[in-house]
Amino acid sequence: MSNQTALTAQTQLMRNPDIFSSEIDENLVVMDMEGNYFALNLTAQTIWELLENPCSYEQLLKYLFKTYDIESQPCRLDVETFLTDMLQYKLILARNS
């Protein structure tokens, strides 16, 4: 899986197995390869947990729409931005089928 993949409905996403994450004071913190820490909000934590196993971008969005009962367009834009950032920092991996 690459970290330079454009997101499509079929893009397979998963956590980078080399990335460390830990719960600190009831917050999930992720550390990248350079030692930078990222504190994840509740939605980001949900995404991180879902990506423990590979899933498609479409599956991820459907789960979030259903779980948080939110409109698809604003959610899609926010999630795409978040995933793009995670890909840039190599926290997750992506592969187009």
pLDDT-derived band at 87 (thresholds 50, 70, 90) equals very high
pLDDT at residue 60 tops 90: yes
pLDDT at 47 over 80: yes
* Residue boundaries of the structural domains of the chain: 12-95
pLDDT in tens, 66-85: 888 877 777 888 899 999 99
Please check whether the domain covering 12-95 is classified as CATH 3.90.930.50.
yes
pTM above threshold 0.85: yes
Note the pLDDT tens digit of each residue in 13-41: 999 999 999 998 888 999 988 889 999 99
Token pair belonging to 66 = 């259903």
Structure token digits, residue 94: 């992506």
Angle between helices 72-88 and 57-68 (to 10 degrees): 130
Encoded tokens for 62:
């459907």
